[in-house]
Structure 1
């Protein structure tokens, strides 16, 4: 896929996700006359892969100081190198060659970081072992020189000069918003991130995230580009909108891959990458394939087949997940470290069943059909009316799709205000987010039959996250007002404005007495939903919440 010297190549930018999108890109680059090996230039260890890639690692602090592919330097912008977090201090850096592998080891306190090169490959394999919280190591950032790739996607801010929130959300002159947070993608949605010009591709292939936190639905910054250059990230732990405690241990490998413009090889992807060549390298915390196990389930019964199901495994040390087959719920999750895990079945992103499973090294734990009790799925309850679907996401609500890659103030967003009438496109009319300072007090109009109005009913409001303890208080017909509910446990960072609705799913339940309903069946009942909190700032940073579903039970 190389560009012709006589034909200009139009620069393009892609966020390329799963293995299904990948063709037959080769694992190894085209070999050149250069010899595989390493040298010492005094300040750096210089590694030549024997293909088309030469890179340098600082002997002082373990920074990646140079990344030359086919003679072009890609590394660096703003005078900064590529490195863990914002760079380590003085470290112990060593190098050794074992046959067709070169390994550079970086030791900084309790942190261990590794770069590995394989003969004939245009890839750099990276591992990071964080043993404790004494070192801040939440990401690896590959910094890329400006002008080499074009990116005006949502996760850029090259053409967005106006800052509208903090120092990382921007607005273009046309009112569209940009931020490094606006990747659109959950962890389970992508295998790699990067750019291509059509003749050169530069990619970050993610690790299996077994020591990360947040599960398969977590969203985080993956890529950005500004006037200074671009960045590709492997997020090892990111505190923003985080639902789990930090896990410690070896992360990786994640891979910096260069290609002739195509996608990275699917052989590098988490779940397919094999690294038996690394078994004897002495990488701290490394566990090879023989020290891992598998969990397989013959099926899941009690599913609503209109939704995808995901099975997750998690304990304090590791996390894994896999998709359940749509036909019968069969699943298989491999490469699992030994231990006892909580197995969670998710309908969409809503947990509907949990159990415990134990994994042993070299073994497969086979589970009989998992039966999801009907009562575990709130969508199975009979409702007089329902807004949205109980799937753990705000999908289908007004502006829901846009909010994974734009700020709520974006010109493309429909009005956040406006009332809702049951029976008149109610889900698409109801905003996915409610804020105390923006659209609190939204009204929902609905009619009841005489029999329904004569009885008390349960009202449920499901949320996926909340900001600044925002939670719903309801009033019916100005005749009855609920108590202010206690705030559920939620992340304490921004969420609704930086592309993520993912928090802790929670259902608020309100027992509405029969005396609150209108007895004239020709009249609408009016439900008012207010966001209450003693916290938050103003506008879109006031207390708020994201909606999963709302229903009135029969």
Structure 2
């Protein structure tokens, strides 16, 4: 049932009066009281959220509204009560690509459930939910202050900042891998506001389980809370289209996270465009084998329309509920690809599929780091997700490594053509070891065509050629994951000598700016026996 009230009463409700669950309206807005402490208002001309009151406190910022991207512009906005839930539908008419945004309220919950339906890429080439909240009420961003621009000045683009103490900030530093990012929050003394991505919320996003994107940015007046559905930030796939979500924004007490397992099955009763309920989906179960203990075993399904993933437990896995179709399968050791396969999923059925690692167990003379698709064990790898490579907390770039005495953290996790110098590896060979070997270097991400150059003593390896371009800044914005290229050089016996040998690793590529020259991130390197 839908109730219409006078403007005066609607205003009182909008200011957080204790009222029963319900939808009211004026000529300019819809007011939703969830009867769970949250009252929010939606602009009837464009679908923006203009007020967010939780327990009587206003959390909506005063400068700009909360909306998809920076607002959808002129839209048709309708509100109704359907099967006991409040549903507001926003159909944009001012954007280049039709976008439909849904807001749904459930009784007794301080939560706005949402879903976003698109039929093409939107301008300016990214799709995000952006809540603009009050910094005064919610001063702590995701991962603390790594995304706070307060008191800092931009020094790279308009999104990377340096503070007076030499530390750096960027909203990209608030990101986490999609496979792990199920709940993220901004908080204050009275409340936390959290984005929740339950179930298959990421199924129409792009670039797989290890994609990361902006979660928050803290400014002087606005605390921005995001959920990025699609962007060009180190994206390795074309956009997927269709229904994004369901996802949710929920209000809770400070230092409390809502459950990552929000039940969104009630969307099946709300006539949400392109929503597929559980009974219209299938799944895959099986065993993933061959990944050594100590590494995550990740199974990833994808096609041009959808993507899914899970972590195997003791080798056993079951997929999330999947839309019917034929899917590629990737098996990862942490983030290092070790097998490929395919599977067809049918609604109402569980397909059986075992997959095994095809990573060869090649003997090596030495290895630096782990071939796991991550640079974290190498120098500065423990910091790169949350700060710029010029940050004062970073160790100096470049360096030397001596096999047998050095630690993995002595070898730099990234090299630049214009900054950071080169890295050297000193190793000793016996007479029996002076023969042909394979030098193998794994990388996780490249910028401006950066790839390894190698020299052993007086022998120089050939240029392996530039990798496929990802047209996005990476390492300077905290990203480390790209294509995951692996390079191999067959090194002749004449390159080696008995006793001490030196490998010099540098960068092919160029660039004008210090930190934006050609670069690549190192996964691991080894000399095979």
1:463 and 2:448 correspond: no
1:510 and 2:489 correspond: yes
Alignment root-mean-square deviation, CA: 1.8
Displacement after TM superposition at 1:338 (Å): 0.8
Aligned residues of 1:160 and 1:178 also touching (Cα < 8 A): no
Displacement after TM superposition at 1:89 (Å): 1.7
Q: TM-score, normalised by structure 1?
A: 0.88
Counterparts of 1:494 and 1:257, CA distance in 2:
32
Displacement after TM superposition at 1:406 (Å): 0.5
Aligned residues of 1:50 and 1:121 also touching (Cα < 8 A): yes
Q: Deviations over 1:473-523 (max 9, x none)?
A: 11121x21122111122412100111110000111111111111124x2xx
Aligned to 1:103: 87
Matched pairs, number: 505
Counterparts of 1:219 and 1:435, CA distance in 2:
23
Aligned to 2:133: 144
Aligned to 1:437: 418
Q: Deviations over 1:81-113 (max 9, x none)?
A: 111111112111111111421111111242111
Aligned to 2:463: 484
Q: Deviations over 1:218-249 (max 9, x none)?
A: 11111111112201111110111111111001
Taking a change above 3 Å as real, the CA distance of residues 250 and 164 of structure 1, as seen in their structure-2 partners, is same
Unaligned segments of structure 1, at least 5 residues: 1-30
The residue matched to 1:277 in structure 2 has which SS? helix
Aligned residues of 2:373 and 2:484 also touching (Cα < 8 A): yes
Aligned to 1:76: 61
Aligned to 1:285: 274
Aligned to 1:192: 183
Displacement after TM superposition at 1:198 (Å): 5.0
Match of 1:542 among 517, 521, 526: 517
Aligned residues of 1:103 and 1:114 also touching (Cα < 8 A): yes
Displacement after TM superposition at 1:402 (Å): 0.1
Aligned to 1:58: 43
Counterparts of 1:309 and 1:154, CA distance in 2:
32
Counterparts of 2:180 and 2:347, CA distance in 1:
28
Aligned to 2:509: 533
Counterparts of 1:539 and 1:47, CA distance in 2:
51
Aligned to 1:493: 472
1:448 and 2:429 correspond: yes
Aligned residues of 1:160 and 1:170 also touching (Cα < 8 A): no
Aligned to 2:237: 244
Displacement after TM superposition at 1:426 (Å): 4.0
Counterparts of 2:433 and 2:126, CA distance in 1:
57
Aligned to 1:348: 334
Q: Deviations over 1:154-204 (max 9, x none)?
A: 432244422221111112222221111112521122321113335422111
Q: How does 1:121-136 map to 2 (within 5 A)?
A: 121-133=109-121, 136=125
Moved over 6 A (4+): none
Aligned to 1:307: 295
1:357 and 2:331 correspond: no
Aligned residues of 2:38 and 2:54 also touching (Cα < 8 A): yes
Taking a change above 3 Å as real, the CA distance of residues 56 and 280 of structure 1, as seen in their structure-2 partners, is same
The residue matched to 1:515 in structure 2 has which SS? helix
1:181 and 2:156 correspond: no
Displacement after TM superposition at 1:32 (Å): 8.7
